[in-house]
Structure 1
Amino acid sequence: MLNTPGVPRTRIRIKAPPKRQHAPESEDSWQTLATAITQIHQKNASVLSYEELYRIAYNMVMRKKGSQLYNGVREVVELHLKDVAENEIKPAFGILSTSSSSASRTSNDMPGASSSMSDGNSSFLKVMKKVWEDHTMSMRMIKDVLSYGDKWFVEYARVPPTYEMGLALFRDTIARSPQHPIQAHIQKVMLEQIARERKGESIDRSTLKAVTNMLLSLPDDKSNDSVYVVDFEKAFLQTSSEFYKIESQMLISQCDAPQYMKKVEKRLNEEQERTQHYLSKDTEERIRKIVEEELIANHIRALIEMEGSGLTSMISENRIEDINRMYKLFSRVPSGLKEMREAIASQIKDMGHEINRSVDPSTLRSKEDKEDEKGSTLNNSSAIAMKWVEDLLQLKEKFDNVLEKALAKDKSFQTGFNEAFELFINSNPRSPEFISLFIDENLKKGLKGKTEAEVDAVLDKTITLFRFIKDKDVFERYYKQHLAKRLLWGRSVSDDAERGMITKLKVECGYQFTTKLEGMFNDMRISADTMVAFKEYLDVSQVQRPQVEMSVNVLSAAFWPMNVSSSPPCNFPEILTQSCQTFEKFYFGRHSGRRLTWQPNMGTADVRAQFKAKRHELNVSTYGMVVLLLFNDLAEGECLTMTDIESHTGIQMADLKRTLQSLACAKYKILVKEPKSRDVNPDDKFYFNADFTCPLARIKIQQIASRVETDSERRVTQDKVDEERKHQTEAAIVRIMKDRKRMDHNNLIAEVTKQLTPRFVPSPAMIKKRLEALIDREYLSRDEQDRKTYEYQA
């Protein structure tokens, strides 16, 4: 605007030009679009102008003709699809059964379809694939033309976008056509193709994949699922279940367990591959569950118990691969591993009880009846203990191997195995003694064929068996007895090996368990120092030097298993009595107030014996020495009966019997017994065997080797253990009550059991008796208001 000086301002208004009225849209605009859509369906889209068609659709939406446009497109597409169904799909049916039952045929009908029909069905699927691809391509082009309407009209009118509308039309007009049984035929043909493939025939997977994608792309109008799930998958799963039910029954009757499992693996892999190649991935889990249910879950017991090839046979024959296959298959179903675990545990128990029966006294007695005079008395030798433990170690190694290589070190299986081993090991009342004897044999000198490293490896395995023993205090008593003999008789393979074993036991049970064992070693060390001092004493003192060179081990009564309250009866020869008196004088001079009790049952002696051929040095027990010295006073050809020997020596009959057996019935017969037999009776006669010969100058006469206790001896041992348990139980009760001051009965029982379980498992009745004893001795009292509550009396 220009301003002239001195001239008033004038507001000038410029009017916008009037809007031009659009020329009326030609009535044939829609026809142009309809014709274009038809051209698209006929694949003549190249002659069309996208910009022109888009403008026409745009103008119709702008002129509020969107509804006419949307419905018009719908009608054109629907008419086209009906024409396709009639003229393209229907002729591809081939031999078509219009019966509604065609959709519900089972997989047992499918294999009977003729080859020509199968080929026709394959062609039908190819037609469906082509029709679907043509339709989706056309709808994408139509969608592009109507993109403006999809952007503005569809949201306003709340109708599906063009492409989705096309999918719904395809579903309702083709896939679920009310005029033609296309739906049933698609299902029937797809199922037949799958049945053919299950029979091992080749099929067109790519076409099946395309049809599957078609069904997956079509939404179901009554649910959130796809047409694939509603129209095909349900029927597929049902027919598959029927197929595998029949196949499993056939296979279980024709195959052994390994063959059956291999076929199951094959079917599982096939179904997985099938879903990956041409079915929905979501179907994989559903079909897998059906195969697992029909082929595995329904036949668990049959596979486990199958005669000659089931789980028992697999384990017996060590078929690791088959056991692993069963484990993997059974892990797929809920109760599979539980059934398998229980079956293996049951087999462990059966095999373990069989091992126990092999060393049962009644079984052994029947075997002994068949032994000749030279045979060993199996029931009283360490052979049964060795055999029992070795059999157990082999069994444990066998199932450890199964656990590691076939069962993936499954913790639940390991727990089940351990419970089974614990059950049958503790069902053998001799198990603590047997394991101790086994360790004893492996820690002795002269063990042939094994290095220290190999012995240590065996002992490591033995510790695994030791863990299963509930009555560890019983084991401790036997171990102390056997260790005492090894130490006192100089039979240990080495101190390092002995201490190594004690360390293993300490790791398992704690330092309290091995305190006495370590005390035994300490006594041996102190005894060695004492003997050095004794020799110095003899050198410097005026006392007469003993005629017998003697080595004495001074043992603490608290550590060693022998009964030190009295000396075992034995009449020492005068020459030995003098030596003992000399040592006592030396010892009491250094340790006033102490008492020595001689234990001849635990000693050894070196005796020089002159035979006709040559002189030999015999290493025998102290009892053996006392017996042999009796024959010094006999003329050649004279004899002594067992009764005579007992009266002269004072040795108890049981010990004397074992001593005479070692001298007259073992490998080296220093004495000759009449009559000849392994049994020793009071009237048997014994002669000095002057004709004895042996290439060895020094001979070790084994005092009856580590052996299994007799029933009476075991009862004595158990009585001693029971007595110790009383004291241990009372001590535990007092410790707990001193700390808690007041506890109810149930909690006290539980706490005492917990504390004592590392050594033994006390029964509630036993604990109750010890509680009563402590109440009587006024260590505890009952609460006057609550008789089930105990109070500690300081």
Structure 2
Amino acid sequence: MPSTTSNPPFDGAANLPTIPKRRHRVDSSPPAEYHHHHHQQPVPNSPPDPKRARSDQHPPAAMSAKVLGKRPEVIDLTCSGGGGGITSTLPKRPSAFQPHMGARKLVIKNLRQPTSTHAAGVDEYYARIKEELDAALTSIFAGRPTAQPMEHLYRGVENICRKGEAAELSEKLRARCEAHLAGDEVLGRIKADGATADDITVLRSVLAHWKAWTAQLLIIRWMYSYLDRSYLLINKSLPGINDMGISQFRKAVFGNRKGPADAAPGLRVLSAICQLVDFDRREDERFDSALLKDSVKMIRLFGVYGKAFEPMFLTASHNYFVGFAEERSVSYGLKDYINACERLLRREAERCDLYNFDSTTKRQLRGDAHRILIENYASKLLDSGSVAKLIEAGDFESMKALYDLLKLSNIQKRLKGPWEDYIRAAGTAIVSDITRGDEMVIRLLELRRILDTMIRDSFYRDEEFTYALREAFGHVVNDREILSVWKESTAKGTSKVGEMIAKYIDMLLRGGLKTLPKTLLADRQDRADAEKSGIASTGDEDAELDRQLDQGLELFRFIEGKATFEEFYKKDLARRLLMGRSASQDAERNMLSKLKSECGSSFTHNLEQMFKDQELAKDEMSSYKEWIAGTGRDKTHNGIDLNVSILSAAAWPTYPDFQVLLPQDVVTQIDAFDSYYKSKHTGRKLTWKHNLAHCLIKAKFNRGTKELAVSAFQAVVLVLFNDVDGPGNTGVLSFDQIKQATSLEEGILARTLQSLACAKVRVLTKHPKGRDVEKTDTFTVNKAFTHPLYRVKINQIQLRETPEENKETHVRVAADRQFETQAAIVRIMKSRKSMAHAQLVSEVINQTKSRGAVDPADIKMNIEKLIEKDYIEREGGEYVYLA
């Protein structure tokens, strides 16, 4: 092309020269020798550069006119009008192009001179290209680099396709690939490898040839890229080169698309994959994870996974699951069987995810495993005896695994049967254990604690199991057959469990949390749940005590004989209030509010009156002391500070009277208060209960003075030694002398002396020494007594409640129950006037169930009593109320 001088800058107002709208072809074909003057030699077996490939992809100049077309004329772009160029039909106008040195012509010419073309040269070129392509395929199949540069081969393929021989080229490529894969180089070697080896070796051989073929196919795709992106892309009936290569390899190894033929090695490949999975299941060292992953990927790509491999794999897995279940169910216990099944299912799921098994395979595999391992062996998993051992051992992990296992087959609700069976069996064993009656409630709460924790941690708070727990506990604490073992110490219609719950709450309110075993205290999860629900953290002692009271009330809700609980709770509350033994007044009132919320105000009326009496007694004593101070009688008290608790006889329990001779100074003070109270409240009578009194006295010993907190009986005995411990006195009192001076019963006196002379704190000395007090013993003051504290509390040795006294309380409760039943019958008949027997019995049961269950036989007996008392009468088939 001729060189041109540099052009001046364009003027914004100037116009560029126009070119007539006439079509001309500009040809820049390479010379006939087809030399590449301005291109570098490409690297063999490298993908062609598309930009470079398109610049020199034309056939040689010696081609027919049909291929090359008509060559264009020489065009002078600087010509205006008719000057040497192509004449324009447009109107003439002056050129805006003004170079410095005048007008110059820009002429575009062909790069080579026209030469004569011959068909023989074209045919020779295409024949040579085809031979080069064929040789290149041979080299690729052999794993060698191609003789010709890859870019040269790429252009050859493009030129063949442009010539119109793409179909022939495509067919030839397909035939060469098929011959290579089905021949001795691939299929032949695979068969040779498997002739004397196992299926795993065949799989390795197939996978190795597949990887080699994948690399070869990539080079082929580079070389035939133009064919792949033009002819094959447009022709939908023919696969692309990549799809064709995959299809050819699959056909060679696995036969047709429907599945591997018997003669093809595909069956052995699929069998080998199943063997690899089996090796993994049995933890065989022959397992090869990389081989399994690559194999599954290969068969998924070939399209034989779903139709050929999946059925074979599921069948093999089914057989393995059957054998696994049969073996473990016989040789393993429930816990080991659960763990084995859980581990198997987890590993099966992980394997499917890790090695890219299809999701349908995973779903079918899981369903088959659930049917075989769980549903077919549900009788083993739900065996009551085996489940009971896990619950009793507190094996939360195994129970959680069992629940999860059953949930996989949606039969977890069937676990409720063994769950209830265990609770009833364990609860019955606790309630009917006469030898450990004092531990009944603690053991029941420990059982309840384990079960609640299991529901929380193992059953995901499933409400079904919570309901089952309540039903089973209700049966245990109310079943008359179970409670019949306590008939010697109870009465008909009373509840031993109610009595023991009252004593448990008394223990809590007296001693606090230190009286409980650690197994009943809240754990970290309980505290977290309490904080989430807005309750104070159970890490606080008061909050934990409140929680333990709630646990006791949970058992209380189950019992039907609530009257028994009320009677014993009333006795224990009175003792705590009178003796000042409550660990916390706030806890006492909190418990009272809980009972009121649970049973109503009628249940807690007397209990609330007891607290009111305590407050009124304080006011009464304040008034009395003001009166004493005003009259000047406080100077005659000889240092005695009297405090009296005035109690309502109807609200408080009845206590027996004990005869005792009090010191004269004390008697004087008592008479003064008695006179004051009767003068203030007419028509009232005071009954003094000295056995409930307690005193604080000062005692002088050799090592200092101490304050002794003792009971009234202990104080009466100690004061006697003031009269014998002086000049001319021996300071010795015999058992008979003390008895005569105090008028105490022998049993009470013996326990009192034992607490003073034989217990841990010994202010008296017994002669002779021993643990028991005899009638022949003598006592002196232990002047050498010492104690680190100034105020020393000496506990009275309490006589435990005798079976007779316990029985008497139950009998009293049963009698009160009969009176309550009669009162209910009268109330019902007074409002209804007449009722049939069945209706009356049903209504009585409904009105009295809050206080405990009543037998229909007891109701009938009370109806007969009311008929005898002329409250009601029979008329026909009904009862009629008599006004």
Normalising by structure 1, report the TM-score. Answer: 0.63
Matching residue of 1:243: 320
Matching residue of 1:295: 373
Alpha-carbon distance in structure 2 between the residues aligned to 1:306 and 1:352: 16
Matching residue of 2:612: 522
Which runs of 5 or more residues in structure 1 are unaligned? 1-45, 48-86, 96-111, 127-139, 146-172, 216-227, 364-383
Rate the CA distance shift 1:195–1:444 in 2: closer, same or farther, 3 A. same
| Match among 436, 458, 466 for residue 553 of structure 2 | 466
1:687 aligns with 2:765: no
Report the Cα offset of residue 291 of structure 1.
Answer: 1.5
SS at match of 1:292: helix
Name the amino acid aligned to 1:460.
Answer: R
Rate the CA distance shift 1:289–1:446 in 2: closer, same or farther, 3 A. closer
**Aligned partners of 2:441 and 2:504 also within 8 Å:** yes
Alpha-carbon distance in structure 1 between the residues aligned to 2:783 and 2:717: 19
Matching residue of 2:466: 414
Rate the CA distance shift 1:762–1:568 in 2: closer, same or farther, 3 A. farther
Matching residue of 1:728: 820
| Match among 577, 589, 592 for residue 502 of structure 1 | 592
Name the amino acid aligned to 1:410.
Answer: D
Alpha-carbon distance in structure 2 between the residues aligned to 1:209 and 1:736: 82
Matching residue of 1:549: 641
Rate the CA distance shift 1:584–1:415 in 2: closer, same or farther, 3 A. same
Deviation by residue 1:668-706 (Cα, 9 ceiling, x = unmatched): 22344466555556x35351334350234432222236x
Rate the CA distance shift 1:343–1:497 in 2: closer, same or farther, 3 A. closer
**Aligned partners of 1:125 and 1:208 also within 8 Å:** no
Matching residue of 2:341: 264
Name the amino acid aligned to 2:374.
Answer: I
| Match among 201, 205, 208 for residue 296 of structure 2 | 205
The 5 A counterparts of 1:268-667 are: 268-269=345-346, 287-299=365-377, 302=380, 315=391, 318-333=394-409, 336-339=412-415, 342-343=418-419, 346=422, 349-350=425-426, 353=429, 357=433, 360-361=434-435, 385=438, 392-421=444-473, 431-444=497-510, 453-469=540-556, 470=559, 471-541=561-631, 546-547=637-638, 548-563=640-655, 567-611=657-701, 613-634=703-724, 635-636=729-730, 638-641=732-735, 648-652=741-745, 655-667=748-760
**Aligned partners of 2:299 and 2:305 also within 8 Å:** no
Matching residue of 1:12: none
Report the Cα offset of residue 529 of structure 1.
Answer: 0.6
Alpha-carbon distance in structure 2 between the residues aligned to 1:587 and 1:487: 22
Rate the CA distance shift 1:345–1:192 in 2: closer, same or farther, 3 A. farther
Rate the CA distance shift 1:315–1:512 in 2: closer, same or farther, 3 A. same
Name the amino acid aligned to 2:593.
Answer: T
Report the Cα offset of residue 233 of structure 1.
Answer: 8.3
Rate the CA distance shift 1:187–1:114 in 2: closer, same or farther, 3 A. closer
**Aligned partners of 1:669 and 1:692 also within 8 Å:** no
Rate the CA distance shift 1:346–1:694 in 2: closer, same or farther, 3 A. same
**Aligned partners of 1:389 and 1:438 also within 8 Å:** yes
Alpha-carbon distance in structure 2 between the residues aligned to 1:186 and 1:742: 93
Worse overlay, 486-495 or 259-268? 259-268
Deviation by residue 1:259-278 (Cα, 9 ceiling, x = unmatched): 54344234434555788888
Rate the CA distance shift 1:602–1:306 in 2: closer, same or farther, 3 A. closer
Name the amino acid aligned to 1:330.
Answer: L
Higher relative contact order (CA 8 A, sep 6+): 1
Deviation by residue 1:133-157 (Cα, 9 ceiling, x = unmatched): xxxxxxx999999xxxxxxxxxxxx
Alpha-carbon distance in structure 2 between the residues aligned to 1:494 and 1:636: 46
**Aligned partners of 2:756 and 2:762 also within 8 Å:** yes
Count of paired positions: 618
Report the Cα offset of residue 713 of structure 1.
Answer: 1.9
SS at match of 1:607: strand
Alpha-carbon distance in structure 2 between the residues aligned to 1:790 and 1:117: 97
Worse overlay, 336-345 or 715-724? 336-345
State the identity %: 29
Alpha-carbon distance in structure 2 between the residues aligned to 1:298 and 1:257: 14
Alpha-carbon distance in structure 1 between the residues aligned to 2:311 and 2:416: 32
**Aligned partners of 2:706 and 2:792 also within 8 Å:** yes
Rate the CA distance shift 1:668–1:331 in 2: closer, same or farther, 3 A. same
Matching residue of 1:115: 200
**Aligned partners of 1:433 and 1:708 also within 8 Å:** no
Deviation by residue 1:276-307 (Cα, 9 ceiling, x = unmatched): 88887667665434312322344456567799
Rate the CA distance shift 1:684–1:356 in 2: closer, same or farther, 3 A. farther
Report the Cα offset of residue 579 of structure 1.
Answer: 2.1
Report the Cα offset of residue 527 of structure 1.
Answer: 0.6
Report the Cα offset of residue 716 of structure 1.
Answer: 1.5
SS at match of 1:443: helix
Rate the CA distance shift 1:542–1:466 in 2: closer, same or farther, 3 A. same
Matching residue of 2:90: none
Name the amino acid aligned to 1:457.
Answer: E
The 5 A counterparts of 1:148-167 are: none
Which runs of 5 or more residues in structure 2 are unaligned? 1-159, 162-181, 192-196, 212-232, 239-254, 281-286, 487-495, 517-537
Name the amino acid aligned to 2:812.
Answer: K
Matching residue of 2:151: none
Worse overlay, 764-773 or 547-556? 764-773
Worse overlay, 245-254 or 627-636? 627-636
Deviation by residue 1:167-194 (Cα, 9 ceiling, x = unmatched): xxxxxx97889xx988999999867744
Worse overlay, 298-307 or 661-670? 298-307
Rate the CA distance shift 1:570–1:456 in 2: closer, same or farther, 3 A. farther
SS at match of 2:706: strand
Worse overlay, 244-253 or 424-433? 424-433
Deviation by residue 1:12-42 (Cα, 9 ceiling, x = unmatched): xxxxxxxxxxxxxxxxxxxxxxxxxxxxxxx
**Aligned partners of 1:608 and 1:615 also within 8 Å:** yes
Which one has a bigger Cα radius of gyration?
2
Rate the CA distance shift 1:523–1:485 in 2: closer, same or farther, 3 A. same
Alpha-carbon distance in structure 2 between the residues aligned to 1:242 and 1:640: 92
Rate the CA distance shift 1:698–1:272 in 2: closer, same or farther, 3 A. closer
**Aligned partners of 1:261 and 1:325 also within 8 Å:** yes
Rate the CA distance shift 1:628–1:433 in 2: closer, same or farther, 3 A. farther
**Aligned partners of 1:601 and 1:622 also within 8 Å:** yes
Alpha-carbon distance in structure 1 between the residues aligned to 2:297 and 2:426: 55
Alpha-carbon distance in structure 2 between the residues aligned to 1:279 and 1:524: 79
SS at match of 2:408: coil
1:670 aligns with 2:763: yes
SS at match of 2:695: strand
Name the amino acid aligned to 2:735.
Answer: T
Rate the CA distance shift 1:581–1:419 in 2: closer, same or farther, 3 A. same
Deviation by residue 1:457-480 (Cα, 9 ceiling, x = unmatched): 134223313322413332222222
State the Cα RMSD in Å: 5.2
Alpha-carbon distance in structure 2 between the residues aligned to 1:749 and 1:122: 86
Report the Cα offset of residue 522 of structure 1.
Answer: 0.5
Rate the CA distance shift 1:448–1:283 in 2: closer, same or farther, 3 A. closer
